[in-house]
């Protein structure tokens, strides 16, 4: 009886242990393994270039006549339109010159009309055989000389009136004023640079020798501005034929097809070239499945 009790206790303890082990095994079953991948930009795995926004055209503006600057209508960084008046110089001296040439036209016209009248009168005298042909030739020559002097006076007057219009410095194209080198009250000479107008922002990148063969003119490009995150598109417009002497890299210019009018010069950008520059996403092939003819 005593031995049977011990056997019963041993069996009960064994069953309890087995039951407990079964519960722990059920609780500690590891989760199934799942392979994941983050879907990202197709160009993220492709190497790119760091570039800066630079202008395609830089025009140094100057007055075509000299004088004292009376007004400056724009500041550095201003966006201007073609035809805007940027600066004005004193037009008084130019106006006096225009007045003088206008008076010269009137005087030359009077001399020309007198020479023409005299030539007609002496032709009548020659027809009446009152004078010699040599004298008539002299008055004909006087008329031609007076006509030439009149035409010269008209041309000078036209130039003076054009100069009067040159007292306003006018923007020849849309752009941004990137530099100003003259102020109000300053006397400037004709042809002296007073402003710089930049046009059409584009991206300049440096291409190492080892990757020069990978790019070509016309290749598509995607541009991301680091400061604003704006995404732009463009293409390789030109590649320098010779490398920079210091860096031994080739300069390339990326023309932008959708650049905003207020694109800041000097801003840093990330440039990716080629077909990988186009937008898209990368997913694993195993994530695709086919239903009928549709993937």
The two three-digit tokens of residue 35, written as one number: 């392979």
Higher pLDDT, 88 or 57: 88
pLDDT for the residue 54 = 85
pLDDT for the residue 165 = 86
Tens digit of pLDDT for each residue in 47-56?
589 999 888 8
The yes-or-no verdict on residue 281 having pLDDT over 60 is no
Question: Hey, what long-range contacts does 227-234 have (CB within 8 A, 24 or more apart)?
Answer: 227/264, 227/267, 227/268, 228/267, 230/260, 232/256, 232/257, 232/258, 232/259, 233/257, 233/258, 234/202, 234/203, 234/258, 234/259
How many angstroms separate the Cα of 181 from the Cα of each of 171, 184, 196, 264? 16, 11, 9, 21
Distance, in Å, from the CA atom of 203 to the CA atom of 52, rounded to the nearest integer, reads 5
pLDDT for the residue 39 = 62
Tens digit of pLDDT for each residue in 25-69?
455 677 776 666 666 554 443 458 999 988 888 899 999 999 999
What is the pLDDT of the chain when averaged over all its residues?
Answer: 83
Query: Alpha helices of the chain — where are they, by DSSP H?
Result: 2-27, 92-127, 133-165
pLDDT for the residue 90 = 92
Mean pLDDT over 186-213 rounds to 90
For 215, the 3-state DSSP assignment is coil
Higher pLDDT, 214 or 45: 214
Distance, in Å, from the CA atom of 259 to the CA atom of 73, rounded to the nearest integer, reads 26
What does DSSP assign to residue 287? G
Distance, in Å, from the CA atom of 126 to the CA atom of 123, rounded to the nearest integer, reads 5
- Residues 6 or more apart whose CB falls under 8 angstroms from that of 40 comprise 281, 282
pLDDT for the residue 12 = 60
Distance, in Å, from the CA atom of 111 to the CA atom of 160, rounded to the nearest integer, reads 21
Return the bridge partners of 125, or none.
none
pLDDT for the residue 147 = 94
- Residues 6 or more apart whose CB falls under 8 angstroms from that of 19 comprise none
pLDDT for the residue 37 = 62
The yes-or-no verdict on residue 93 having pLDDT over 90 is no
pTM of the model: 0.59
Mean pLDDT over 208-229 rounds to 88
Nearest CA among 175, 108, 102 for reference residue 143: 108
Distance, in Å, from the CA atom of 16 to the CA atom of 23, rounded to the nearest integer, reads 11
Mean pLDDT over 60-80 rounds to 92
DSSP letter string, 77-142: T-EE-TT-EEEEE--HHHHHHHHHHHHHHHHHHHHHHHHHHHHHHHHHHHHTT-S-HHHHHHHHHH
pLDDT for the residue 43 = 44
Mean pLDDT over 6-17 rounds to 58
The yes-or-no verdict on residue 116 having pLDDT over 60 is yes
pLDDT for the residue 169 = 93
């Amino acid at each position: 009886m005593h031995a049977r009790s011990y056997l019963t206790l041993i069996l009960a303890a064994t069953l309890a242990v087995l039951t407990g082990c079964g519960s722990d095994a059920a609780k500690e079953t590891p989760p199934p393994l799942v392979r994941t991948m983050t879907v990202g930009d197709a160009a993220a795995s492709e190497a790119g270039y760091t570039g800066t926004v630079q202008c395609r055209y830089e025009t140094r503006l100057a007055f075509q006549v000299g004088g004292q600057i009376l007004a400056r209508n724009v500041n550095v960084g201003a966006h201007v339109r073609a035809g805007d008046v940027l600066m004005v110089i004193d037009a008084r001296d130019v106006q006096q010159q225009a007045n003088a040439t206008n008076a010269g036209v009137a005087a030359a016209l009077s001399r020309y009309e007198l020479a023409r009248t005299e030539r007609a009168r002496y032709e009548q005298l020659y027809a009446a055989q009152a004078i010699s042909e040599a004298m008539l030739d002299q008055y004909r020559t006087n008329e031609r000389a007076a006509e030439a002097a009149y035409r010269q006076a008209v041309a000078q007057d036209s130039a003076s009136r054009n100069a009067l219009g040159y007292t306003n410095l006018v923007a020849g194209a849309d752009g941004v004023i990137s530099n100003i080198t003259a102020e109000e009250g300053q006397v400037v000479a004709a042809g002296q640079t007073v402003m710089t107008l930049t046009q059409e922002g584009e991206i300049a990148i440096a291409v190492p020798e080892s990757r020069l063969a990978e790019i070509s003119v016309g290749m598509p490009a995607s541009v991301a501005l680091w400061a604003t995150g704006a995404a732009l598109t463009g293409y390789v417009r030109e590649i320098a034929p010779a490398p920079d002497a210091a860096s031994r890299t080739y300069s390339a210019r990326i023309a932008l097809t959708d650049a905003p009018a207020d694109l800041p010069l000097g801003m840093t950008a990330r440039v990716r070239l080629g077909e990988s520059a186009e937008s898209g996403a990368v997913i694993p092939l195993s994530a695709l499945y086919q239903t009928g003819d549709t993937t």
